[in-house]
Chain A
Amino acid sequence: MSMLDKMLERYYASRLNTLAVTAACLGVLGGLIRIFWFTPIDSYQGVVQKIFYIHLPCAIGAFTAFFGVFVASIAFLAVRKDVFDDLASSLAEVGVACCSLVLITGPIWAKPAWGAYWTWDNRLTTTLILWVLYVGYLLLRHLSLESEQGKRAAAVLGIIAFLDVPIVRMSVKWWRSIHPSVLSGQKGTGLDRPMVETLWISLLTFLFFFAVLLVERFALARAKTLLKKVRMQMEVC
């Protein structure tokens, strides 16, 4: 049993999970109330700009999760412990969920802002490629029937697929793009103070929600792996 397993055991034994799930759901609900009722409407784009407060945390969540897959895959290939494989698969699922939300909220925002749901802009296209790659990653895991070779193949793919993330991040700078570069490193975001506050609240609540989701998914994956091991030991006996 790894250290992470012991931590998970304590986490569930102390019923902290119930508290975390409740807090995460209430946090997201509170964040949505703040976004739709207590944040000023953008004078230029109107009410549709509010989707930005959901779109950005999802994008950050997706990129963070995919980076996690990359690190967990390297760790799995280095030490060959199932815990890292389970972590990579859980992170990939959360990442794909976040990336799907990015691809859903983006076009909803794009229609009134750019006049079309989808344009073959570099940022949009590279994000779609990223989504396809990680869906392919999950498909590979599913089709390899959780064999040892399948786990290794998934880890290798987890490393190679991450190459697309810097391209998505830098696409706005490398090529001409109509997509705004929000986290460009330049001073100021062009948002009013209440809007910036909402953005921070939304970032924290959504990322906390994704983190709780990850812990739940990871715990499930660990339980499945440990159960499989017990079953194999029983078969040997």
Chain B
Amino acid sequence: MSTLTATLALVQRDFMVEARSKEIFIPLGLFCLVLLLLFVFSLSPLPDQSRQLFPALYLTLLALSGILALEKAIERERRDDGLYGIVVSPVGLSSLYLGKTFSTLAFLFVVGIVSIPVFIAFLGLSLSWLQLLWIVWVEMLFLFGFSALGTIMTLLSWNVRARHVLLAVLLYPLMIPPLLASSSLMRQGLNGRFEMGSGWGSLLVGFDLLYFGMGLLLIEHVLEE
């Protein structure tokens, strides 16, 4: 079985399980909505502040929901001994990593896309199609790095006590540079500048590739037994 076929099979399996259980999409969407309400009520931003606030708020909410998605996906595997089944199957560990990364990316990406209209409505933003496309593009780059690093970190803290707290403590500090870069790129887009060649663009892509490469390289050491 080639790596690509195995990866696609794992992504498809995750989607099928999610379609049956509905454990990630709906709770995650609701969690995002509740957090947005909390933030909007506590900050009460003025219309001109909303535009400045949107990138940081949007990405922070995605990162907070993302950790829930990661934990939920692994919790499911733990409950059904699914991970053990995959590890002993002919599917390689790199395929397992790729499959988990891409399914998490897909789940979070959909939640992110669905949340955009809610953000626009609650914050009273008016965005052009180009700006919307830019936000979606930057969101995808941010979530790619998040899923790549998040998957390896979740598997890393698999058998550790207090793993929920530890995952947040380890994952968020490492996600600050990509978060900073994504937030700046989104802000630039909202001000009409769509440049990926800037320092922030390179930083974001650089971190994405670094985390993805590290994950692929280190997965065999993480899931040895």
Contacts and interface: CB of A to CB of B under 8 A. Distances in A.
B160 A140 contact: yes
B contact residues, range = 20 to 34
A143 B218 contact: no
- Interface SS, B side: helix
A157 B170 contact: yes
A135 B152 CA distance: 19
A132 B218 contact: no
Interface string A135-146: 111011001110
B177 A153 contact: no
Given A133-B174, A160-B174, A153 B199 contact: no
- Interface SS, A side: helix
A contact residues, range = 20 to 34
Contact of B169 (A132, A145, A148): A132
Nearest to A167: B177
A5 interface: no
Contacts of A135: 169
Given A143-B161, A159-B214, A174-B199, A129 B222 contact: no
A129 B214 contact: no
B224 interface: yes
A188 to B, nearest CB: 28
B173 A136 contact: yes
Contacts of B199: 174
Contact of A147 (B159, B174, B222): B159
Name which of A136, A145, A149, A152 has the most chain B CB atoms within 10 A of its CB: A136
B18 to A, nearest CB: 27
Interface of A: 77, 125, 129, 132-133, 135-137, 139-140, 143-145, 147-150, 152-153, 155-157, 159-161, 163-164, 167, 174
